[in-house]
Structure 1
């Protein structure tokens, strides 16, 4: 360690580096001993301000840097031509002859200002745009599954139409073949009847002739008339040419054209965009709200009470009720499969991942169900997980309370790793109430996080960074605190849908918390909500234990 830096030694003079320092030149930023003060003041090329070391300014001026070529000198000037600091000896040399010089402190001030300007631009303009671009990509990824799902659905529907047409044509062919077969059989049967009749007559004649010959009766013999000539001409033969089926060679290209066309995937990467250029942001097709929402299906789940419903893209839903069993049911009410919780307790909530796997919360654990196998992915200490949703990024958003019920928060998990905690506003106040367990959660298309805080009579919406955007406390016309939200979900239009179980209806808000309208549809105590990729709304009715499918867009 350098002897001037050692903690056990006194601070030494910057010039001689041997004697203890006693003074300080505030202009040059140099520490001086008694002997070196005079030597330092002898440099008359600039003014000096030498003060006792302990009386120096607490925040000294910038120190002139030492010259790398002349160790005893400090660089007080800046050579603008060479863009380097220089001392007086450097300036007097031929190397910098005729070069433009400026005061180094002025140059430093100018450079400092540029640094500050760069910092301001990075913090206030450039970095936020990068964050915005990253957010846009997450939004596009969230839309990807939905949009490609629509393409697959369109292809399947076109295929079903073609299948129906082909089935109709095949049935027509089969009907024509059956008709030909019936005519053929009728003709052969008629011919058979004629021959059978002749055979019967021949047998009778043969029998009669044998009797006459045997009796040797002259009268019968003399009156006999031959009919052989009648039978020598055989009955006509029926000749039928069987129909044949000639299959046509299938033209695959023509068949593909009949199924419609698919435009190619186009991926363009634009280089050199500046902040001022407008990036294209894809938006989902606009779907206006129906004047009268329509109830399209009702499913009886068989629970005593029903709390949650969750789905992804199929005409099937996962349900959670007053039971340790979670049921996977289709729209006809048929049980597809069921899962019993690992602990044997009633699950607190369920969600479906983007891969279609079930996730449920249970006491202090969060569990993933894949191929009917249950795996605990998160175990909490001191906190109890409540309600859960799968985010666009495939993260899990979980509401939870502390063991003593005094604190509530939202936590984002990527796999089993905690990525984000949302608990307080910018003033350090709790965002969520602490006296009720019901806090259903959903992520909006713009990545806002929406929590239905039932005991607070409010929906709390924060942005993806956890900053409070707004609170919704019911329709503005309601003067009494009668809004007690339960379930919550969002759709492709960034609408926020909230179940109002006490008033048997659902509130629809825009992404900024403005009330749009109610959905009623003869609902009774609506609780859990979810929306599939086609924007069909599924509502879990708590006390009837029915799931109702509603079209509202």
Structure 2
């Protein structure tokens, strides 16, 4: 038989007797009771106003807060002036004369609504934002691991190069030592040979003298001549000097200067904060945009000849009527698309060809100067430098819904590519690597274009990687779109210009296949736009979701309607 107090399959038992089945509940004490124990519980603490209800109705009775002034009283009213719960005795006191009161339940409803609203914000906004921030920090930590690893490898390689050069120097000095030694030994050996010859000659002279002295032949003794004086002049003494090795003094500071040093690292926020994750809608829109369906057959509404001498690369909407264009020279032109007339021309400050152009929320033209390493804004036809880079070169640019600038940039050696978000001239965010520390974007003179979707995703067309790379607002990779088959001309996917529309569609030009790909915000292919396009390059959409396509070789802009 199962123990009624411990069995997981047993019914709930009275908290007092622990045997009878629960039938009642005290909302004041939060105690489960059987009917037999209700009376016992009521008298257990007569200071409390026990509110006993059926078990099924538990927690239905509001548990009013105790009065801080009158200990045994409960507060069923709320004083607006004092902003505190009050009991009946408090209300009758002089302290709250002429004050206005609300029932505590009215305040409770307001508090609950506020808490529910805050709970919703916690669930749908704050919690996801912190998740993304944690992911972003983790990505940065992974990137730090990689970059510090690369730094250590570079230092080790430089050390090996130094060792190689030092080994070469040591070998060179040792060869010089051997050459000096051999030269001196050869000279001394020649000198020794001459001395040894003299010694041999002297011995012969001594033997000749002995023979002469021992001879009885007086004529031999009389005629004997010996060249003793020849040997009295001793040979010149050769003194050898050994070269000394004068080691350079190793001075740590000088060694550091010659070998190389590290710049200072930094870890600070620079006054920048993460942005709160927003619901999946345009920040400007009070509600979701009306749903528009794709047309079965897109229609060309208008065609504009821009008059550029060579190629046309970029188009940016100033309004539904006016578009900025950028070609192969230093001039950016503003056209009326419907009238086909040139309204304005702006030449870059440096005289260089602008790399990317965009229009800000306030209607100002922004352009990047790759060679001058600057990002510039045109206000009232005056050019202001917003950003100047040192070790990077700005490529394409777009203006976000929040008024920030997203800039694609290449490193000086063209081996790295990244996206940087700027608020004015202040860097807010850098996007370069995925969760595994691998580059998100290809590098090496590759064409890249950038735009922001309505859901705040950052979309980059990466021609070098033959992909559209989409990350969320904290830089976490969402997907890569690598084209769809069959393509109109069955050629490899070649994404260049990119834009989005009110439906969060992503549109990218494919110059190899003379078409525009339409994909949804999750990377699913929807449709091609062909419309007789010839090498489409730059793209933009207006507020009515008309698509403008800059065609590279024929220097025309087509206005195309593709949504109902």
- The alpha-carbon distance between structure 1 residues 301 and 469, as it changes in their structure 2 partners (threshold 3 A), is same
Asked if 1:143 is matched to 2:285, the reply is yes
Asked if 1:379 is matched to 2:388, the reply is yes
Residue in structure 1 matching 2:357, options 350, 358, 361: 350
C-alpha contact (below 8 Å) 2:459/2:471 kept by paired residues: yes
CA distances 1:155-179 after superposition (whole Å, capped 9, x unpaired): xxxxxxxxxxxxxxxxxxxxxxxxx
C-alpha contact (below 8 Å) 1:312/1:533 kept by paired residues: no
Q: Give the distance between the partners of 1:463 and 1:481, measured in 2 at CA.
A: 30
SS of the equivalent of 2:557 reads: strand
Structure 1 equivalent of residue 421 of structure 2: 412
- The alpha-carbon distance between structure 1 residues 125 and 523, as it changes in their structure 2 partners (threshold 3 A), is closer
Structure 2 equivalent of residue 458 of structure 1: 467
Asked if 1:324 is matched to 2:330, the reply is yes
Q: Give the distance between the partners of 2:527 and 2:375, measured in 1 at CA.
A: 35
List aligned pairs for 1:9-28, cutoff 5 A.
Answer: none
CA distances 1:39-66 after superposition (whole Å, capped 9, x unpaired): xxxxxxxxxxxxxxxxxxxxxxxxxxxx
Give the CA deviation at 1:139: 4.0
Asked if 1:531 is matched to 2:541, the reply is yes
Residue in structure 1 matching 2:314, options 308, 311, 314: 308
SS of the equivalent of 1:308 reads: strand
Give the CA deviation at 1:333: 1.9
Q: Give the distance between the partners of 2:348 and 2:417, measured in 1 at CA.
A: 25
Give the CA deviation at 1:434: 1.2
Q: Give the distance between the partners of 2:423 and 2:354, measured in 1 at CA.
A: 21
Q: Give the distance between the partners of 1:551 and 1:452, measured in 2 at CA.
A: 22
Q: Give the distance between the partners of 1:412 and 1:399, measured in 2 at CA.
A: 9
CA distances 1:389-411 after superposition (whole Å, capped 9, x unpaired): 11111110111100000100000
Give the CA deviation at 1:128: 1.5
- The alpha-carbon distance between structure 1 residues 126 and 397, as it changes in their structure 2 partners (threshold 3 A), is closer
C-alpha contact (below 8 Å) 1:326/1:338 kept by paired residues: yes
Give TM-score, length-normalised by structure 2: 0.50
- The alpha-carbon distance between structure 1 residues 500 and 122, as it changes in their structure 2 partners (threshold 3 A), is closer
Q: Give the distance between the partners of 1:481 and 1:309, measured in 2 at CA.
A: 25
Task: Report the number of matched residues.
Answer: 296
SS of the equivalent of 2:497 reads: strand
Structure 2 equivalent of residue 288 of structure 1: 293
Residue in structure 1 matching 2:402, options 369, 390, 393: 393
C-alpha contact (below 8 Å) 2:128/2:277 kept by paired residues: no
- The alpha-carbon distance between structure 1 residues 469 and 129, as it changes in their structure 2 partners (threshold 3 A), is closer
Q: Give the distance between the partners of 1:312 and 1:285, measured in 2 at CA.
A: 23
C-alpha contact (below 8 Å) 1:138/1:392 kept by paired residues: no
Q: Give the distance between the partners of 2:283 and 2:382, measured in 1 at CA.
A: 28
Q: Give the distance between the partners of 1:126 and 1:538, measured in 2 at CA.
A: 35
Asked if 1:510 is matched to 2:520, the reply is yes
C-alpha contact (below 8 Å) 2:289/2:502 kept by paired residues: yes
Show structure 1 runs of 4+ deviating over 2 A: 121-127, 129-144, 476-481
CA distances 1:274-328 after superposition (whole Å, capped 9, x unpaired): xxxxxxxx21000000000010010110012100000142301000001100000
Name stretches of at least 5 consecutive residues in structure 1 with no aligned partner: 1-120, 145-281
List aligned pairs for 1:55-74, cutoff 5 A.
Answer: none
Q: Give the distance between the partners of 2:453 and 2:292, measured in 1 at CA.
A: 16
Q: Give the distance between the partners of 2:498 and 2:516, measured in 1 at CA.
A: 9
Structure 1 equivalent of residue 126 of structure 2: 127
- The alpha-carbon distance between structure 1 residues 430 and 481, as it changes in their structure 2 partners (threshold 3 A), is farther
Q: Give the distance between the partners of 1:464 and 1:550, measured in 2 at CA.
A: 29
C-alpha contact (below 8 Å) 2:299/2:562 kept by paired residues: yes
Q: Give the distance between the partners of 1:438 and 1:130, measured in 2 at CA.
A: 32
Structure 2 equivalent of residue 108 of structure 1: none
- The alpha-carbon distance between structure 1 residues 436 and 481, as it changes in their structure 2 partners (threshold 3 A), is farther
Give the CA deviation at 1:544: 0.5
Structure 1 equivalent of residue 237 of structure 2: none
- The alpha-carbon distance between structure 1 residues 427 and 438, as it changes in their structure 2 partners (threshold 3 A), is same
Structure 2 equivalent of residue 74 of structure 1: none
SS of the equivalent of 1:471 reads: strand
- The alpha-carbon distance between structure 1 residues 312 and 286, as it changes in their structure 2 partners (threshold 3 A), is farther
Structure 2 equivalent of residue 210 of structure 1: none
CA distances 1:329-361 after superposition (whole Å, capped 9, x unpaired): 111221101000000010001000011100000
Q: Give the distance between the partners of 2:410 and 2:426, measured in 1 at CA.
A: 18
Q: Give the distance between the partners of 2:482 and 2:128, measured in 1 at CA.
A: 33
Structure 2 equivalent of residue 339 of structure 1: 346
SS of the equivalent of 1:128 reads: helix
Computed over aligned residues only, the root mean square deviation of the Cα atoms, in angstroms, reads 2.4
Give the CA deviation at 1:136: 3.0
Q: Give the distance between the partners of 2:121 and 2:340, measured in 1 at CA.
A: 57
Structure 1 equivalent of residue 234 of structure 2: none
List aligned pairs for 1:154-233, cutoff 5 A.
Answer: none
SS of the equivalent of 1:293 reads: strand
Q: Give the distance between the partners of 2:129 and 2:490, measured in 1 at CA.
A: 44
Asked if 1:493 is matched to 2:503, the reply is yes
Give the CA deviation at 1:457: 0.6
C-alpha contact (below 8 Å) 1:305/1:542 kept by paired residues: yes
Give the CA deviation at 1:436: 2.9
Give the CA deviation at 1:137: 6.4
C-alpha contact (below 8 Å) 1:436/1:454 kept by paired residues: no
Q: Give the distance between the partners of 1:543 and 1:352, measured in 2 at CA.
A: 24
C-alpha contact (below 8 Å) 1:391/1:397 kept by paired residues: yes
Q: Give the distance between the partners of 2:523 and 2:282, measured in 1 at CA.
A: 23
C-alpha contact (below 8 Å) 2:280/2:454 kept by paired residues: no
- The alpha-carbon distance between structure 1 residues 520 and 481, as it changes in their structure 2 partners (threshold 3 A), is closer
- The alpha-carbon distance between structure 1 residues 297 and 418, as it changes in their structure 2 partners (threshold 3 A), is same
